[in-house]
Structure 1
Amino acid sequence: MWIIERKKLFLVIAAAVMFVSLALVLGLGLRLGIDFTGGSLTEVAYSERPAKTEVEAVLNALPLELGAFSLRESTDDAGQPAFNLRTRDLTDGERQQVGDVLTSVGAGAEITRFTSIGPTIGQELRDKAVWALGAVALIIILYVAWAFRGVGKPVGSWTYGGITILALIHDVLVPTAVMAVLGVLLGAEVDVLFVMAILAVLGYSVNDTIVVFDRVRENLIRYRQEKKVMVKNEYGQPEEQIEYIPTKPFAAVVGESVDQTILRSINTSVTTLLALSALYLLGGSVTQTFALILMAGVLAGTYSSIFFANPLLVLLAERKLAKLEAAEKGESS
C-alpha cells in the first residue's frame, strides 16, 4: 500500500528515467550493425594483439577504397584478443586482400569470422524488425483490453491496455539508452541480437505487468456487492439489472494487489538476473552485449510493473472519479 500512497514520487521517477533515456538515444544515436546497413564484418584473433594504430596503418595502405571503415577491439569466442573490422560489402578478392594484411601484423593472427550482408537484405531486416516490434505492441494491447473486458469500474479495459503499452515504452527506452551509451563507449552496434533482446524484454515486461493487473481484477471481484435495480429498457418496460457496488476503495484494492505480488515479481527478476549475469561473465563477446541489454530491460520491467503501471492506474482512476463527481455536482446545482 505504501507504493500507492507515494504514487506521484514513483511516477516522477519513471518519467525522469524515460526522459533521460530518450535524450540519450536521440543525442547519442544508435550504431547500426551490418545486419541493418549492409557491409562486411571481419574478425581477426591474435595470440598477441598488435596496436590498433598499427592495424589501421596497414589497412590505409591497401590499394582498395574501403571507405569509412570501423576497427574496434574485441574478444573472440575462444577468449583470444581480437579486432572487429567493419567495411563496405567486399568481393572475394577484396576479402582475401584484407585478410592477408590483417594477419600480417601481430602474433598468431587468424581470421575467425567473416560476415557479409548486402544493402537490400539489411534494409529488409530493418523493416522486418520494425514490423515485429509494432505487431507485438498491437497484439499486447488487444489482448489486455480483451482479458480485462469485464472490469468496467472505475476504469475501462482499454485503460489497462494503454498503461501496459506505456510501461513497455519505458522498458524499451531504458535498454535502448544503454545500447546508445555502449555504442559511444565500446563501439557496440545494433544487430539482430539486440532486436531479439528487445522482444524478450517486451514479453517479460508484459507478463510481469499482467500478473499484477490480474490480481487487481480478482480483488475487484472479491470486494464488491451485487445490487438489483429496476430500469426501463429501450421499449419503456421495467427490467431488472445488477449493479456492482465496491466495498473497498480502488486505491486500497490496487495497493493490496501489489503487496500480494511484489515478492513474486522481485524473486522472478533476481533469478533472471542471476542467469543473465552468468551468461555475461561466462559467455563470449557476442552474447555479452545481449545479456547486458536484457539485464537493463529486466530491471526496467520490474520497476514499471510495480512502481509505474499500478500507481498510474490509481491516478487515472482518481481523476476519472473526480470528473464524475464534478459532473454530478454540476447537474444537481
Structure 2
Amino acid sequence: MNIIKNRYIYFFISLIVIIPGIVFMGLNWQQTSGPLQLGIDFRGGSLLEVQFEGERPTAEQISTLYKEFSTEEQPLADPVVQSLGESSISIRSRAMSDETKGLLVAEMESRFGSKVTVENFTSVSAAVGAEVTQAAGIAILFAAAAILIYIWWAFRSVEHAYRYGTAAILAMLHDVLVVLGVEAILGYYLGWEADALFLTALLTVIGFSVHDTIVVFDRVRENSLLYRKIEYEKMVNHSIVQTLDRSITTQLTVMFTLFALVLFGGDSIRHFVVILLIGIFSGTYSSIFNAAPILVVWENREWTTWFKRKEETAI
C-alpha cells in the first residue's frame, strides 16, 4: 500500500474540506463580528433552561415575553430559544439579574398556565466573556508551543528533529480549522453557539490528533535507524502502513462510542459530542495522510520543483 505516493491528493482533499468552513466563518463575521456564533461563556449574557409541566410554549411566545421585559439597562429582546426535549427549552439572551429572572419565570407560569421548573440559570458579564475568550486563545497557543517543544526534544536523536514538531503542529492546525469550520457551518444554519464545552472538545481533539501523529512519527524514528539505506519516502510509507491498523482501530473505538452518544445521549451534550466526533475523525485523517507526507515533502524539498514542472510542461 503506497500511501505517500498520493500525498498531494490527500492535501487537496484537506483543502476542499477546510475552504467551506473558512467561507462560513466569513459569513458569520458579517452577522456577529466574529468567525463563530459565540455562546454566553465568551460574549457574555444569560442562559435560562426551564421545564414546563404542561404544554410547552412556542419560541415566538417566549420571544414576545422577553421583549416585554426588555429595558435599556437589560435589553432582552431577540433571545435564542432552543428545544431541550419534549418539555424543556433553553433561552439565551443578554445578561439579566436574578430578580428579572424570577419575574420572568413567574410570568411564564401565569401566562402559559403551567408550573415552571428552573433547571439551570447562568449569567456572565461581557467583561468576563472577553477574558474567557482571551484565555481560550492563550490556552490553544500554549498547547501548540508545548507540543512543538516536546516533540523536538523527544526526537532529538533523529536528524532534523524540528521537522517532526513542525509537521505535527501543521496537522494539528488542519484539525483546528476543520473543527472551527464545522462549528461555523452549524452555527450559521442551526444556530449552535461555541461555549465552554466547545472549547473542551477542541482541546481534546488537539490532544487526540497529536497523540496519533506521535505514534506514526515514533515508528518513522525507529525505522530511520533500522533502514538507513532505504529511500526516505519508502521508509516513511512503510512506517505508516505498520501503524495503520493500530491508528484506525483505536480511533474507531472512540468514534463508535461518540456516535452512540450522538444518537442516544440527549440534546444537552449533542453539540459537544458532534464536534468531538468530527474532530477525532479529522485527527485520524491528518495523522496518516498529512503529517507524515509533510515530512517527505520537506525531506525532498519538493516546493523547489513545483513551478519548474509547470514551466517545463509549458515549453
Please indicate, yes or no, whether the TM-score normalized by the shorter chain is above 0.5: yes
1:72 aligned onto 2:81: yes
Partner secondary structure for residue 112 of structure 2: coil
Question: Which structure 2 segments of 5+ residues have no match?
Answer: 29-34, 306-315
Q: What are the superposed Cα offsets for residues 100-143 of structure 1, whole Å, 9 maximum, x if unpaired?
A: 23333264543221111122322222121111111100000111
When structure 1 is superposed on structure 2, of 7-16 and 188-197 the one drifting more is 7-16
Match of 1:87 in 2: 93
Distance 1:55 1:6, change over 3 A: same
**CA displacement at 1:201 relative to structure 2:** 0.3
**CA displacement at 1:12 relative to structure 2:** 1.5
The RMSD of aligned alpha carbons is 2.0
1:266 aligned onto 2:273: no
In 2, the alpha carbon distance for the partners of 1:129 and 1:206 equals 19
Structure-to-structure mapping, 1:180-195, within 5 angstroms = 180-195=184-199
When structure 1 is superposed on structure 2, of 195-204 and 314-323 the one drifting more is 314-323
Q: What are the superposed Cα offsets for residues 235-276 of structure 1, whole Å, 9 maximum, x if unpaired?
A: xxxxxxxxxxxx100011001001101111111111001111
Distance 1:269 1:41, change over 3 A: same
Aligned with 2:295 (options 313, 318, 330) = 313
Match of 2:313 in 1: none
Match of 1:6 in 2: 6
Amino acid at match of 2:213: T
Aligned with 2:183 (options 142, 165, 179) = 179
Aligned with 2:57 (options 26, 45, 50) = 50
In 1, the alpha carbon distance for the partners of 2:114 and 2:174 equals 47
Percent sequence identity over aligned pairs: 39
Distance 1:167 1:40, change over 3 A: same
Partner secondary structure for residue 40 of structure 1: strand
* TM-score normalised by length of structure 1: 0.83
Q: Please say if residues 81 and 89 of structure 2, whose CA atoms lie closer than 8 Å, have aligned partners that are also in contact.
A: yes
Q: Please say if residues 49 and 106 of structure 1, whose CA atoms lie closer than 8 Å, have aligned partners that are also in contact.
A: no
In 2, the alpha carbon distance for the partners of 1:137 and 1:166 equals 10
Q: Please say if residues 171 and 301 of structure 1, whose CA atoms lie closer than 8 Å, have aligned partners that are also in contact.
A: yes
Q: Please say if residues 59 and 101 of structure 1, whose CA atoms lie closer than 8 Å, have aligned partners that are also in contact.
A: no
In 1, the alpha carbon distance for the partners of 2:304 and 2:263 equals 52
In 1, the alpha carbon distance for the partners of 2:264 and 2:198 equals 19
Q: How many residues align?
A: 295
Match of 1:34 in 2: 40
More strand, by proportion: 1
Q: Please say if residues 80 and 92 of structure 2, whose CA atoms lie closer than 8 Å, have aligned partners that are also in contact.
A: yes
Q: What are the superposed Cα offsets for residues 82-102 of structure 1, whole Å, 9 maximum, x if unpaired?
A: 322222221232112222233
**CA displacement at 1:147 relative to structure 2:** 1.4
In 2, the alpha carbon distance for the partners of 1:182 and 1:105 equals 31
**CA displacement at 1:321 relative to structure 2:** 11
Q: Please say if residues 24 and 188 of structure 2, whose CA atoms lie closer than 8 Å, have aligned partners that are also in contact.
A: no
Q: Please say if residues 167 and 309 of structure 1, whose CA atoms lie closer than 8 Å, have aligned partners that are also in contact.
A: yes
Q: Please say if residues 105 and 116 of structure 2, whose CA atoms lie closer than 8 Å, have aligned partners that are also in contact.
A: no
When structure 1 is superposed on structure 2, of 308-317 and 163-172 the one drifting more is 308-317
Distance 1:141 1:68, change over 3 A: farther
Query: Higher Cα Rg: structure 1 or 2?
Result: 1
* TM-score normalised by length of structure 2: 0.87
Match of 1:19 in 2: 19
Q: What are the superposed Cα offsets for residues 3-49 of structure 1, whole Å, 9 maximum, x if unpaired?
A: 11111111111222233332222333311111111221111223432
**CA displacement at 1:176 relative to structure 2:** 1.4
